[in-house]
Every structure is written in C-alpha cells, then in structure tokens.
Amino acid sequence: MTQPNERLLTLFNVGTLTFGSGAAKCCAEDLMDRGVKHVFIVTTPPTRSLCDPLLAVIDKRGGAAKIWDNLKGEPTLDEFAEALEKARDFSADAVIGLGGGSSMDVAKLVAALYDGAQTIDEVIGVDFLKGRSLPLACIPTTAGTGSEVTPIAILADEAEDLKKGAVSRHLVPDAAYLDPLMTVSMPPAVTAATGFDALTHCIEAYTNKFAHPIADIYALAGVRLIADNLERACKQGDDLAAREAMLLASLYGGMCLGPVNTAAVHALAYPLGGEFHIEHGVANALLLPHVLEFNLEAEPARYAAIARALGASDAGDDVTTARRGVEKIIDLAECCNIEQRLSSFGISAEAIPRMAEAAMTVTRLLERNPRIVTERDAVGIYKAAL
C-alpha cells in the first residue's frame, strides 16, 4: 500500500495568470485600471521593442512609463542597484518585468525593495524578505525560467563569482501574462538554452527529495511538452503551436520551483555562470546528463518515469530505462545545437576544484538532491562533463 506524503506543501500562486496569444496587451490595461500612473518597465535591448504596445496603452490612458534596459546578460548586484535607483528617480508606482528570467528577477526585487525598508543583502536567502512595496506584473519573452510565477529571484555577485538567490512568497508577481507571440522572435540558441532550463526545472522537481504529488503532475507534463516541441521551436521559430507548448512547459516548471525547487544540476551550474558567464540554460544542459547518471540509482523508478516522459522505450528495468532517458537528453541537446562539453567554453581541469568548492556553498539546492553530493563528487561530475 502506498504511504501518504507526510510533508507539508505550500503553494504561493500568482494572483492573476493570463495565457494565450494577445495576453500581453492586457497587462497595461489592467495596471491602468488599478489607478497606476508611473510604470517602471525592466527589459533588455533585444526585447525593448516588445514594450511598444504597453507604452501605447499607458500613454493613451494618461500614464507615464520608464523603460530600463541596461542588462548585459544575467543580472548582477550592481545592475539591480542601478535599476532600483532609476525606479525611485521615476517615482514608480508599479513595476513590469518583460523579458527572460533576468528582466523578471530584477523587476521582482525592484518592486520588493523600492521603499528601502530592506537592502538586497538582507533578503538573500530563504524567507528574509518581509514584504513587497509595489504592484508587480511579469511578461516572459522566453520559455525557460518560469520566473513569472516563482518566489525566486537570482542575481550574480561578481565579487564572489557566484549567483545568489532571494526566495520569498512576496516575490511572486501579482499578475503574469504568458503570450506565445512574445516568444516567436527568440533566436534558436536562446530557444534551446531556455528550453533546457525549463526541462531541468521539471526533471529536478520530479526527482527531488522534497518531491510532492501536486508538483509531480506539472513536472511530468512539462517534460513531455519539451520533448515533443523544443526541437520544433528551435528550427521553426514561427511555429506558434510549438511556442505555446514551450511557454506552457516553462510555466509548469516554474510552478514546481516554489514548493519543491531544483537540486544538484542547478547548484553545479551556478559557478559556470558566475565565473565563466555561461548562459544558465546552457550550463544546465552541460551538466544534466552527468548529474542524472550520478543520481539515477538513488531514485531509479522516478528517473525511469522521466525517461518515458521523454519518449524513451521501457527496457524492462528502471535503471536501464532511466539511462535511455539520459540518452534522449543528449540527443535533444545535439538536435538543438547545444555544446555538451565544458572544454568548448574554455574551461580546463584546473578550474574544477574551485568550481566544486563554490558549488558546495549552494546548500539550499544540494540538500534537495536525491543523492548526497560531496565536493569530491562534484569534482567527478565536472570532470565527466569536461
């Protein structure tokens, strides 16, 4: 008889979620209906033009908007500080994050820390944020992070070459607008990288020490959608059905992050982004097969279920079936033209000890991994990926 899951699970859901083609147009109208006058929009240069429909509505309704797009890549503490200063100078009374996870994470923290009651250093970690100052809406233009529905925001600390996360229910946006039309302009490389980020979210949530039946439903559905649609989205960027499926998969992955979160893949990926500035989704793709090989004997039935969701055939035993799933992941990365060796990014064996040391500091994720990861294990995983 199956035993009940005794762990308490708390879901902090986004207040309003609007999904479908044309959803983004609703965002500005909804904010104006709330009486907002000064909208601060966080985005990036490649997605700045996607703000135009919002600006038109805000102007027509008598509001004002300020776009801040000074993000050069994954956001840093210094970039966040600049965005916060600009929002205060503008006297913002609402914040929109429009873009990938970087834009949305900065928007979350600007909205949260606008009033100066806490500093960024005081909220890094889990449940240190006491509240949020301003209304917050998010519009993803990638299908990967799921940040539009998560209680998480990540910034890079350049002084320490490491990413740092704030986790709080107060970071969950008031509203999210998921519009596949906003994702069709993503280049193939960005589509692939963000798609692998979403895939990793789903896999690590399902095979997590803190896995839960509620999150399991989202995780497996996300894996199936990505297996069926990521290659199409990469190779046929205007395939709206594939784009919508990937946006839904990203949402599912994001919905797993709050109650369950990720594990060793993300922990080991952080130093790749912090020191070597490898895009987050690519870092996940580099490490995912090797961490799965390390983990699968700890949870063979769950990794076998992941393999089936990826489209692998059943081998008759869970370990072999799970390994077929790893092969599916490698094949998908190859089809999406993602490099699969650390050495392709200029990383040498000499860097591995310090990467392993840095990864071991990400205890909030490592503690969720189905198998204990020591520093020696981390070194072995990096060597396997070299």
Least confident of 89-98, 149-158, 285-294, 306-315: 149-158
Q: Which CATH architecture has domain 188-385?
A: Up-down Bundle (1.20)
pLDDT, position 282: 97
Q: Which two tokens stand for residue 84?
A: 């916060």
Structure tokens at 292: 């799965």
Q: How many CB atoms lie within 10 A of CB 269?
A: 28
Q: How far is CA 241 from CA 140, 158, 238, in A?
A: 17, 39, 9
Q: What is the pTM of this model?
A: 0.94
Q: Which segments of the chain does DSSP mark as H helices, in order?
A: 25-33, 52-60, 77-89, 101-113, 120-123, 188-206, 213-235, 240-257, 264-276, 280-295, 300-309, 318-335, 352-359, 363-366, 375-385
pLDDT tens per residue, range 211-247: 999 999 999 999 999 999 999 999 999 999 999 999 9
Beta bridge pairs of residue 94: 39
> Over the chain, what is the mean pLDDT?
95
In CATH, what number does 16-182 get? 3.40.50.1970
Structure tokens at 293: 């090989």
Question: Which tokens go with 26?
Answer: 């609703």
Q: Is the pLDDT of residue 156 over 90?
A: no
Domain ranges of the chain: 16-182, 188-385
- With 0-12 / 13-18 / 19 or more C-beta atoms within 10 angstroms meaning exposed / middle / buried, residue 35 is exposed
Res 144: pLDDT? 94
